[in-house]
C-alpha cells in the first residue's frame, strides 16, 4: 500500500510546483507593474530606481515576489497548525465520545484498524440534516472524521462504514494536508490578484492625472508589465482553481478505491453515495473553500460537471463501485473504472502487487428494513445531550427535551398537562 | 602502493557488504515485530469478543426459552476458544464460535421483543463491531505474515534469515462455515 502513496507524492510535487510558479509569476509581474510605476505614490519611496530605465530594473518584481511569498508563508503556517481547528469550528462540528453514538465510534475504529492508522481519528458530529461527511487533520496522528446528523440518521451500518472508509482513505493518503496546502496557495493567489485589481481601480484616477504631468515617463516596458500583470491577475485565480480541482477529483477516486479495499464491500459506499445524491437537503454552513473536503460536493446547485467541480460525478463513482467484480482490490477498481471510460482513475503504482480479496456479503442488520425516523430521533437526542439538554419523561410517556438556557424549575407536559420538576444540573 | 589500493578496495567492499547485510537483518527484525504487533491486535479483539458473550447470554436467556441448545453451544464454543493455543487451533475454535453466534443471530429473528430490547441492541452492535475488528486485524496480520515469509524465502534475504534462524509464521484463518453455507431462513 506504500506504493500508491509514493506515486501520489511525486504527482503532488508537480502540482505544488505548478501552483508555486503561478503564485510567483503573479507576485513578480504585479511588483514590476506597481513599484516601477512612475506616478504611483509607493514609487516615491524608491527614488534610486529611475523611471527612464524600467526594463532593466527588476527590484519591483522581486519586491512583489517577496510579498507574495510572505502572504503564502503566513497563510501556510496558520493552516498547518490551526487549519483543522478552523475548519471544524467553521462547520460547527462537535466532538463526541463512544457512549454518545457507539455505532459511529465502532465503525471509525474498525476502519482505522483496517487502514492500520497509528491512532484512531477523533469523531465529530455536525448538527446539520444534510447527508455529508469530511475528514480533517494534517497527518494520521492529528486527524478527525466529521459526519452530519443527517448522515447518521439516513444511512445503515454498511453505508456508514463505506463513507467512513472513504474518509479514512483520505487520512491514510494524507490528502487533507495536501489539499489544505494547495487550497492555501490558491487562496493566496486570489487574495493577491484581488488586492491588485482593486488598488488599480482606486488608483486609476490618480494615475491618469500623474501621466499628464510626467508625459509617458514610464515608457513602453512599463505598459507591457502592467498588461501582463492585469492578464495574470485575471487568469491566475482561475488557473489556480483548475489545478486545485483536478487534484481534488483524482484523490476522490483513490479514496473510493481504498474504501472498497478497506471494507471489502464496495456496495456499502455505492449505496451511501446514492442516498447522499438523492437527498434534497443542502448543507447550511459550506462555501467554495470547504467544499472539496466533503465526500460529495455539498453545493448541489453548482453541480456543473467538468473542469470546475470538486468531485467526479457521483453517478460515475457509484457506477465504478458497482462494476467491481468479486474482488476488492485496486486492480479491480481500475478495471471497473476503465469499463465506464475513466482510464486514469488510479496512479499506476497503486496496482502493483495486488492479490485476490473476496468481497464480503451485506451486513445482516443492513438488510433488515431500517427505521429512518427512529434513527434520526436517536441522533437528535445525542446532539441535544451533547449540547447539555436535559430530558424529562412524563408519566404519560411524553419525553421532553429541555434546552440548557431554560431557567424555570418546572415544566408542563404538553399532552396530559401535568407539572413536572426540571432537574437542575 | 598497489597493495594499499587493493587493501582499500577490499575494505570498502567489505563495508558495503556488511552494511547491506545489516540492512536486510534489520528489515527482517522489523517485519517480525510488526507480525507480533498485529497478532496482539487480534488477541485484543478476540478477548473482547469472549468478554461480551456472558453478558449477551444473560440478556438473551430470559427471552429465548426455546433456544437452550443454541445458547449452550455458544458457551461451549467460547470456553473452547479461550483455552485454544497456537495460531491454527485458535483459528478453528474461533470459527466454531462464529458459527454458534451466527445461529443465534438467525434465532433472534423469531423474538421481536428481544429485538426491541435496548440492552440487546447495544450488545449486538458491540458484537458486530468486534467481529469486524477481528476480521480487519486478521487481514493486516496476514499481510504482515506474507511479507515476512516472502523475505525469509526469497534470495538474498533468505541467507540472512537462515543465519539468524528467522522462522516463517502461520496465517491466521478463522474457519467461517456460515460464509459458505447460507443459513436457511424460512419466512412462513
Residues of A in contact with B121 (CB under 8 A): none
CB pairs under 8 A between A and B: 36
Bigger pLDDT: A296 vs B14: B14
Q: In angstroms, rounded to a whole number, what is the distance separating the alpha carbons of residues A10 and A20?
A: 16
Q: A365 and chain B: CB distance < 8 Å anywhere?
A: yes
A213 alpha carbon, distance to own chain's centre: 51
Torsion, Cα of B117, B122, B126, B132 (10° steps)? 80
Taking an 8 Å cut-off on Cβ atoms, the answer to whether A114 and B122 are in contact is: no
Q: In angstroms, rounded to a whole number, what is the distance separating the alpha carbons of residues B22 and B20?
A: 5
Total number of residues shown for chain B: 188
pLDDT at A4: 56
Q: A113 and chain B: CB distance < 8 Å anywhere?
A: yes
Q: Chain A: residue nearest B129 by CA?
A: A106
Q: In angstroms, rounded to a whole number, what is the distance separating the alpha carbons of residues A362 and A383?
A: 29
Whether A369 and A403 share a structural domain: no
Q: In angstroms, rounded to a whole number, what is the distance separating the alpha carbons of residues B51 and B46?
A: 9
pLDDT at A282: 67
C-beta of residue A246 within 8 angstroms of C-beta of residue A259:
no
The whole-number average pLDDT for the span B153-179 is 78
Taking an 8 Å cut-off on Cβ atoms, the answer to whether B126 and A114 are in contact is: no
pLDDT tens for chain A, 425 residues long, are: 445 556 666 777 788 888 888 888 888 888 877 765 454 444 444 555 544 444 456 777 888 888 888 888 888 888 777 777 777 777 778 888 888 888 899 999 989 988 888 889 999 988 878 888 888 887 888 888 998 888 888 888 889 999 999 999 988 888 888 887 887 888 888 888 888 888 777 765 444 444 444 444 456 667 777 888 888 888 888 888 788 877 777 788 888 888 888 888 888 899 888 888 887 776 665 555 556 666 666 655 444 444 556 677 788 888 888 888 777 777 788 888 777 766 556 655 455 445 556 666 666 555 555 566 667 777 777 777 766 777 777 777 777 777 777 777 777 777 787 777 777 65
Taking an 8 Å cut-off on Cβ atoms, the answer to whether A106 and B179 are in contact is: no
* A102 closest CB neighbour out of B41, B105, B125: B125
Whether A335 and A276 share a structural domain: yes
Cell digits of residue A311: 468531485
Taking an 8 Å cut-off on Cβ atoms, the answer to whether B179 and A361 are in contact is: yes
pLDDT at A39: 44
Whether A355 and A393 share a structural domain: no
Q: In angstroms, rounded to a whole number, what is the distance separating the alpha carbons of residues A401 and A381?
A: 8
Report yes or no for ipTM above 0.85: no
Taking an 8 Å cut-off on Cβ atoms, the answer to whether B140 and A116 are in contact is: yes
pLDDT at A7: 65
Q: What is the DSSP letter of A37?
A: -
Q: In angstroms, rounded to a whole number, what is the distance separating the alpha carbons of residues A52 and A202?
A: 25
Q: Which three-class secondary structure state does DSSP give residue A412?
A: strand
Whether A335 and A399 share a structural domain: no
N-term to C-term CA, chain A: 50
- Indicate which residue of A3, A45, A167, A274 is catalytic: A167
Cell digits of residue A165: 472508509
Cell digits of residue B188: 412462513
Q: Chain A: residue nearest B102 by CA?
A: A364
Instruction: Give A271-306 as a DSSP string.
Output: HHHHHHHH--PPPSS--TTTGGGBSS-S-GGG---S
SS (H, E, C) B76-115: HHHHHHHHCCCHHHHHHHHHHHHHHHHHHHHHHCCCHHHH
pLDDT at A214: 43
pLDDT at A207: 47
Number of domains in chain A: 2
Distance from CA of A390 to the nearest CA of B (A): 20
Q: Chain B: residue nearest A107 by CA?
A: B129
- Mean pLDDT in chain B? 83
Q: In angstroms, rounded to a whole number, what is the distance separating the alpha carbons of residues A40 and A30?
A: 13
pLDDT at A350: 52
C-beta of residue A28 within 8 angstroms of C-beta of residue A64:
yes
Residues of B in contact with A103 (CB under 8 A): 125, 129
Q: In angstroms, rounded to a whole number, what is the distance separating the alpha carbons of residues B35 and B149?
A: 11
Taking an 8 Å cut-off on Cβ atoms, the answer to whether A363 and B128 are in contact is: yes
Distance from CA of A120 to the nearest CA of B (A): 13
Which of B35, B128, B171, B187 to mutate to test binding with chain A, by most A CBs within 10 Å of its CB? B128
Q: A117 and chain B: CB distance < 8 Å anywhere?
A: no
Residues of B in contact with A111 (CB under 8 A): 136
Whether residue B15 has pLDDT greater than 90: yes
Beta bridge partners of A294: A134
Q: Chain B: residue nearest A263 by CA?
A: B136
pLDDT at A285: 57
Residues of A in contact with B133 (CB under 8 A): 109-110, 113
Cell digits of residue A350: 497503486
Percent of chain B beyond pLDDT 70?
92
In terms of DSSP H, where are the helices of A215-313? Answer: 219-263, 266-278
Whether A340 and A412 share a structural domain: no
- Beta strands at A122-126 and A144-148: parallel, antiparallel or unpaired: parallel
In terms of DSSP H, where are the helices of A97-218? Answer: 102-115, 149-154, 157-172, 175-214
C-beta of residue A95 within 8 angstroms of C-beta of residue A145:
no
Whether A328 and A400 share a structural domain: no
Dump pLDDT digits (tens) for B70-114. Answer: 888 888 888 888 888 888 888 888 888 888 888 888 888 888 888
Which of A1, A99, A110 to mutate to test binding with chain B, by most B CBs within 10 Å of its CB? A110
- What's the CATH code, domain B45-180? 1.20.1440.20
Q: In angstroms, rounded to a whole number, what is the distance separating the alpha carbons of residues B98 and B105?
A: 10
Q: Which three-class secondary structure state does DSSP give residue A144?
A: strand
- Residue from A247, A369, A270, A261 nearest A317 by CA: A270
Taking an 8 Å cut-off on Cβ atoms, the answer to whether B124 and A364 are in contact is: no
N-term to C-term CA, chain B: 97
Q: What is the DSSP letter of A156?
A: -
* B137 closest CB neighbour out of A113, A361, A365: A113
Q: A103 and chain B: CB distance < 8 Å anywhere?
A: yes
Whether A377 and A409 share a structural domain: no
> Judging by beta carbons within 10 Å of its beta carbon (0-12, 13-18, 19+), is residue A398 exposed, middle or buried?
middle
Domain that holds residue A251: 1-383
* A114 closest CB neighbour out of B122, B124, B139: B139
C-beta of residue A130 within 8 angstroms of C-beta of residue A283:
yes
A167 is catalytic: yes
Whether A405 and A283 share a structural domain: no
Cell digits of residue A356: 485476490
Q: Chain B: residue nearest A360 by CA?
A: B179
Q: A371 and chain B: CB distance < 8 Å anywhere?
A: no
Distance from CA of B118 to the nearest CA of A (A): 12
Whether A150 and A82 share a structural domain: yes
- Residue from A367, A374, A421 nearest A395 by CA: A421
Dump pLDDT digits (tens) for B119-132. Answer: 888 888 888 888 88
Q: A3 and chain B: CB distance < 8 Å anywhere?
A: no
Whether A402 and A265 share a structural domain: no
Which of A113, A165, A378 to mutate to test binding with chain B, by most B CBs within 10 Å of its CB? A113
Which of B101, B132, B134, B183 to mutate to test binding with chain A, by most A CBs within 10 Å of its CB? B132
Cell digits of residue A192: 493577491
Q: A370 and chain B: CB distance < 8 Å anywhere?
A: no
Whether A136 and A279 share a structural domain: yes
Rounded to 10°, the helix A314-323/A266-278 angle is 160
Whole-number Cα distances in Å, A114 to A10, A120, B153 = 25, 11, 27
Q: Chain A: residue nearest B125 by CA?
A: A103
pLDDT at B14: 93
Whole-number Cα distances in Å, A301 to A169, A248, A257, A306, A309 = 27, 19, 27, 14, 11
Torsion, Cα of B135, B141, B143, B144 (10° steps)? 170
C-beta of residue A337 within 8 angstroms of C-beta of residue A1:
no
Whether A408 and A261 share a structural domain: no
Q: Please tell me whether the peptide bond between B156 and the residue prior to it is cis, using omega within 30 degrees of 0.
A: yes
Taking an 8 Å cut-off on Cβ atoms, the answer to whether B136 and A113 are in contact is: yes
Dump pLDDT digits (tens) for B126-151. Answer: 888 888 888 888 888 888 888 888 88
Instruction: Give A364-404 as a DSSP string.
Output: HHHHSPP-HHHHHHHHHHHHHHHTT-EEEE-TTS-EEEE-T
Residues of A in contact with B136 (CB under 8 A): 110-111, 113-114, 262
Residues of A in contact with B41 (CB under 8 A): 113
pLDDT at A196: 81
Residues of A in contact with B140 (CB under 8 A): 113-114, 116
Amino acid at each position: 500500500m506504500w506504493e500508491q502513496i509514493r506515486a501520489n507524492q511525486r504527482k503532488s510535487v508537480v502540482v505544488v510546483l505548478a501552483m508555486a510558479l503561478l503564485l510567483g509569476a503573479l507576485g513578480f509581474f504585479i511588483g514590476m507593474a506597481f513599484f516601477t510605476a512612475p506616478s504611483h505614490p509607493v514609487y516615491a519611496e524608491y527614488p534610486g530606481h529611475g523611471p527612464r530605465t524600467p526594463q532593466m530594473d527588476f527590484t519591483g518584481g522581486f519586491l512583489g515576489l517577496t510579498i507574495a511569498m510572505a502572504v503564502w508563508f503566513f497563510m501556510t503556517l496558520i493552516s498547518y497548525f490551526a487549519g483543522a481547528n478552523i475548519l471544524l469550528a467553521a462547520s460547527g462540528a462537535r466532538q463526541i465520545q463512544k457512549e454518545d453514538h457507539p455505532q459511529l465510534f465502532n465503525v471509525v475504529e474498525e476502519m482505522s484498524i483496517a487502514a492500520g492508522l497509528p491512532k484512531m481519528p477523533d469523531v465529530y458530529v455536525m448538527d446539520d440534516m444534510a447527508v455529508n461527511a469530511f475528514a480533517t487533520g494534517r497527518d494520521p496522528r492529528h486527524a478527525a472524521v466529521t459526519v452530519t446528523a443527517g448522515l447518521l440518521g439516513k444511512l445503515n451500518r454498511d453505508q456508514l462504514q463505506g463513507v467512513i472508509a472513504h474518509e479514512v482513505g483520505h487520512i491514510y493518503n494524507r490528502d487533507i494536508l495536501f489539499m489544505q496546502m494547495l487550497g492555501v496557495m490558491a487562496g493566496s493567489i486570489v487574495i493577491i490578484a484581488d488586492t491588485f485589481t482593486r488598488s488599480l481601480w482606486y488608483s486609476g484616477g490618480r494615475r491618469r492625472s500623474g501621466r499628464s504631468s510626467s508625459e509617458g515617463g514610464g515608457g513602453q516596458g512599463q505598459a507591457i508589465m502592467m498588461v501582463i500583470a492585469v492578464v495574470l491577475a485575471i487568469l491566475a485565480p482561475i488557473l489556480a482553481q483548475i489545478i486545485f480541482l483536478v487534484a481534488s477529483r483524482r484523490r476522490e477516486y483513490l479514496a473510493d478505491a481504498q474504501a472498497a479495499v478497506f471494507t471489502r464491500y464496495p456496495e456499502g459506499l455505492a449505496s451511501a453515495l446514492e442516498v447522499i445524491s438523492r437527498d434534497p437537503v443542502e448543507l447550511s454552513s459550506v462555501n467554495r473553500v470547504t467544499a472539496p473536503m466533503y465526500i460529495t460536493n455539498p453545493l448541489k446547485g453548482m453541480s456543473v460537471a467538468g473542469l470546475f467541480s470538486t468531485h467526479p460525478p457521483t453517478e460515475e463513482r457509484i457506477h465504478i463501485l458497482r462494476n467491481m467484480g468479486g474482488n476488492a482490490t485496486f486492480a479491480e477498481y481500475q478495471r471497473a473504472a476503465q469499463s465506464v471510460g475513466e482510464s486514469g482513475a488510479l496512479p499506476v503504482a497503486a496496482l502493483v502487487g495486488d492479490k485476490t480479496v473476496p468481497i464480503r456479503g451485506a451486513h445482516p442488520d443492513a438488510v433488515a428494513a431500517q427505521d429512518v425516523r427512529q434513527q434520526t430521533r436517536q441522533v437528535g437526542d445525542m446532539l441535544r445531550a451533547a449540547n447539555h439538554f436535559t430530558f424529562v419523561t412524563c408519566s404519560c410517556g411524553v419525553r421532553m427535551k429541555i434546552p440548557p438556557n431554560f431557567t424555570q424549575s418546572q415544566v408542563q407536559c404538553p399532552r396530559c398537562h401535568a407539572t413536572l420538576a426540571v432537574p437542575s444540573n | 602502493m598497489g597493495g594499499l589500493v587493493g587493501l582499500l578496495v577490499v575494505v570498502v567492499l567489505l563495508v558495503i557488504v556488511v552494511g547491506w547485510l545489516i540492512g536486510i537483518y534489520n528489515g527482517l527484525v522489523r517485519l517480525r515485530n510488526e507480525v507480533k504487533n498485529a497478532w496482539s491486535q487480534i488477541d485484543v479483539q478476540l478477548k473482547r469478543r469472549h468478554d461480551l458473550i456472558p453478558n449477551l447470554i444473560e440478556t438473551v436467556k430470559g427471552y429465548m426459552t426455546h433456544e437452550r441448545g443454541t445458547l449452550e453451544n455458544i458457551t461451549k464454543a467460547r470456553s473452547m476458544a479461550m483455552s485454544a493455543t497456537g495460531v491454527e487451533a485458535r483459528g478453528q475454535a474461533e470459527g466454531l464460535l462464529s458459527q454458534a453466534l451466527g445461529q443465534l443471530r438467525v434465532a433472534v429473528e423469531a423474538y421481536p421483543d428481544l429485538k426491541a430490547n435496548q440492552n440487546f441492541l447495544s450488545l449486538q452492535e458491540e458484537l458486530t463491531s468486534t467481529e469486524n475488528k477481528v476480521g480487519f486485524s486478521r487481514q493486516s496480520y496476514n499481510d504482515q505474515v506474507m511479507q515476512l515469509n516472502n523475505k525469509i524465502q526469497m534470495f538474498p534475504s533468505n541467507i540472512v534469515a537462515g543465519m539468524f534462524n528467522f522462522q516463517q509464521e502461520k496465517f491466521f484463518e478463522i474457519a467461517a462455515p456460515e460464509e459458505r453455507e447460507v443459513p436457511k431462513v424460512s419466512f412462513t
